[in-house]
Amino acid sequence: MKFQAIKGTRDILPPDSALWNRVEQTARDVFGTYGYSEIRTPIFEQTELFARSIGAETDVVAKEMYTFDDRDGDTVTLRPEATASVCRAYIEHGMHTLPGNVKLYNIGPMFRRERPQKGRYRQFFQIDAEVLGQSDAPAIDAEVIEMLLVFFERVGLRGATLSVNSIGDKNCRPKYVELLREELRKVKDSLGPDSQRRIETNPLRVLDSKLPEEQAIIETLPHIADYLCDDCRAHFAKLQAELKLREISYEINWRLVRGLDYYMRTTFEIIAPGLGSQNAVCGGGRYDGLVELLGGPPTKGIGFAIGTDRLILSLQDATKDAAPESALDVFIAWMGEKSYAPAVQLARQLRDAGYAVELPPEEMKFKKSIGLADKLGAKYALIIGEDEVASKQYSLKRLADGQQNKYSMADLLQHLHGARAS
């Protein structure tokens, strides 16, 4: 029997894992400068938490959740996203009593049973950030977006575009949804089966359709911007002023409604190049009222989740022609029994000084050693034979050009430091 990773899941292997670590570390660093701290929530929760937060009619809840009965009969679900869990934790730990806004980020795997394709997996990873508190000031929305763009800039993502929208609140949205439903009923026969069904269950989602034959019809539908109540209209105008203040370019996409039910007012999405159809690398928005819906105190909330898999794909696409940089600094080519103990000690000293060192566990012939050092992409081979042991002068060979010099241990470290700095 041959085992394979389950469809829609994958292994992240070196050297890709180094890029993953760099991306996640950059998120920690950037988010830290904006006052966010890490929260780690469980991978599975009560099913009802997601059903109530995300909405029973959404694709995520209706079709994509990994739900199973636990041995004691409880029904549990592998988390399809992080926002619901963060709100649950906010309530459970009474975080509303903390001073100021509570800013949290969460990094880890999520699970949705979607049809796998490039950029779409059944186990995928998100870098999620949430702000919870008493204020719904548009400055919070704008700062969240600013932080996101600073992060993308810092990891080297180029050519990403930001779309924003407002989808109103409980005062104005129901009226717009009803109007949309009426308009959609008139054109029902020209729509595909998914959209036809959504006219009754969730007409907003029709706006999300990518079906080419539905596009012309959708473009004639009423825009929510024309039906926002005064408060929502003012909030959206202020958000745009705040984005301009921060010199953030954006476009308004009136069809950006998002696939989860908890959103209100601000929604946003970032599209990245090199990804094909699964090109949304981040989605987010405001969800005032979700904490209350889950049994907590009245609370405002906004956040986003970056699809790490997609971000990495886009970064790799942008650098696919660049030569990979080797992580290995020094390969120790030791020969002769007497060289082994000094080789072990030198390896330890070099590693203590922060260099990546490969020490062959068994003696190798010189030529084979240098050949392997080359294949591993080592920058240097440190040659230790019996002469070197006797003189305590070690030969350092730069593999790119074969240049070779002898150094004492102290000089060797100084030389490596100098080479690293230049």
Nearer to ligand HAM by C-beta: 109 or 360? 109
Closest contact distance (angstroms) between CB of 285 and ligand HAM is 6
Non-local CB neighbours of 419 within 8 Å, separated by 6+ positions? none
Nearer to ligand HAM by C-beta: 52 or 310? 310
Closest contact distance (angstroms) between CB of 58 and ligand HAM is 9
Non-local CB neighbours of 292 within 8 Å, separated by 6+ positions? 298, 299
Q: Which residue's C-beta sits nearest to ligand HAM?
A: 307
Nearer to ligand HAM by C-beta: 176 or 263? 263
Radius of gyration of the chain (CA): 28
Write phi, then psi, for 117 (nearest 5 degrees): -160, 180
Nearer to ligand HAM by C-beta: 111 or 176? 111
Nearer to ligand HAM by C-beta: 318 or 364? 318
Write phi, then psi, for 302 (nearest 5 degrees): -150, 150
Nearer to ligand HAM by C-beta: 159 or 371? 159
219: burial class by Cβ within 10 Å (0-12, 13-18, 19+)? Answer: exposed
Nearer to ligand HAM by C-beta: 203 or 307? 307
Closest contact distance (angstroms) between CB of 126 and ligand HAM is 5
Non-local CB neighbours of 179 within 8 Å, separated by 6+ positions? 222, 227
Nearer to ligand HAM by C-beta: 147 or 305? 305
Alpha-carbon dihedral sign for residues 27, 32, 35, 37: positive
Closest contact distance (angstroms) between CB of 336 and ligand HAM is 53
Q: Which residues bind ligand HAM (CB under 6 A)?
A: 81-83, 112, 114, 119-121, 124, 126, 128, 130, 259-260, 280-285, 287, 303-305, 307, 309-310
Closest contact distance (angstroms) between CB of 346 and ligand HAM is 45
Q: How is residue 360 written in tokens?
A: 């062959």
Closest contact distance (angstroms) between CB of 41 and ligand HAM is 12
Nearer to ligand HAM by C-beta: 105 or 176? 105
Phi-psi region of 403 (alpha: psi -120 to 50; beta: other; left: phi over 0): beta
Non-local CB neighbours of 300 within 8 Å, separated by 6+ positions? 132, 133, 134, 135, 136, 286, 288
Closest contact distance (angstroms) between CB of 398 and ligand HAM is 42
Nearer to ligand HAM by C-beta: 288 or 329? 288
Closest contact distance (angstroms) between CB of 47 and ligand HAM is 17
> How far apart, in Å, do the first and last CA atoms of the chain sit?
52
Is the separation of the CB atoms in 176 and 227 below 8 Å? Answer: yes
What is the amino acid identity at position 199?
I
- How many Å apart are CA 314 and CA 80, to the nearest integer? 22
Closest contact distance (angstroms) between CB of 371 and ligand HAM is 41
Determine the longest span between alpha carbons in the chain, in angstroms.
93
Write phi, then psi, for 191 (nearest 5 degrees): -100, 160
Q: What angle do CA 336, 340, 345 make, to 5 degrees?
A: 150
Is the separation of the CB atoms in 275 and 179 below 8 Å? Answer: no
Closest contact distance (angstroms) between CB of 219 and ligand HAM is 23
